[in-house]
Amino acid sequence: MVADIVKYTNMKINMLAQIYKTKDVTFAHTCPEEIEALMGILIQSGGKQDNCITVAEMWSKQHRSPLYCSAMNEKRFNFLLRSLRFEDHTTRNERMKIDKLAPWRNTWECFLDNFQKKYVPGNAITVDEQMVGFRGRCPFRYYKRYKPPKYDIKMNMACGARNSFMLNGILDLAEHRRP
């Protein structure tokens, strides 16, 4: 999965390098270690609840975590977030006609495959739906006027009953319009 992310991210970096030839930005290609470091920063920021502060604050002397600074600098982090891609954008339109989850399909299936390979559930499995807050654009998100995350994606999940670790998940891809 990381190899695919590196491949598609480097394709996007090549496109950005052609567009912004005069900008003073590093257009160096990424590698698996750097993508893993980027994911580590994102996971750490979620764990520390730094997701409600700006990127500049994450690297500031007040809020800075040693992990952020040791992994990469702020400019590279912003550039990689902008360049991060999980699929081949050249074939996206054709795939989107068939599958609404086309941009994420391979990554999603890889996650599920890894969940099922790495986790052996106990005797009890729970099946339920979960609404996951989502701020991006997609045709299958739900709008809820009076809830804190106004937009959600609905997911039906099978989880281990003891620790709620996800074994399988099916996204509700029905299109929902805002009332």
- In terms of domains, do 74 and 119 share one? no
Domain range enclosing 117: 93-171
- In terms of domains, do 55 and 108 share one? no
pLDDT digits (tens, 9 = 90+) for 20-60: 766 655 778 999 999 999 998 888 888 777 777 888 888 88
Query: Total structural domains in the chain?
Result: 2
pLDDT digits (tens, 9 = 90+) for 84-123: 998 888 888 888 888 888 888 888 888 889 888 888 888 8
- In terms of domains, do 61 and 124 share one? no
Q: What is the pLDDT of residue 35?
A: 93
- In terms of domains, do 25 and 67 share one? yes
- In terms of domains, do 9 and 67 share one? yes
- In terms of domains, do 107 and 157 share one? yes
**Is position 179 within any domain?**
no
DSSP labels for 100-148?
TTTTTHHHHHHHHHHHHHH----S-EEEEEEEEE--S--TT-EE-TTSS
Q: What is the pLDDT of residue 177?
A: 55
**Is position 150 within any domain?**
yes
Find the length of the chain.
Answer: 179
- In terms of domains, do 80 and 109 share one? no
What's the predicted TM-score (pTM) here? 0.73
- In terms of domains, do 167 and 141 share one? yes
- In terms of domains, do 120 and 163 share one? yes
- In terms of domains, do 102 and 154 share one? yes
- In terms of domains, do 62 and 120 share one? no
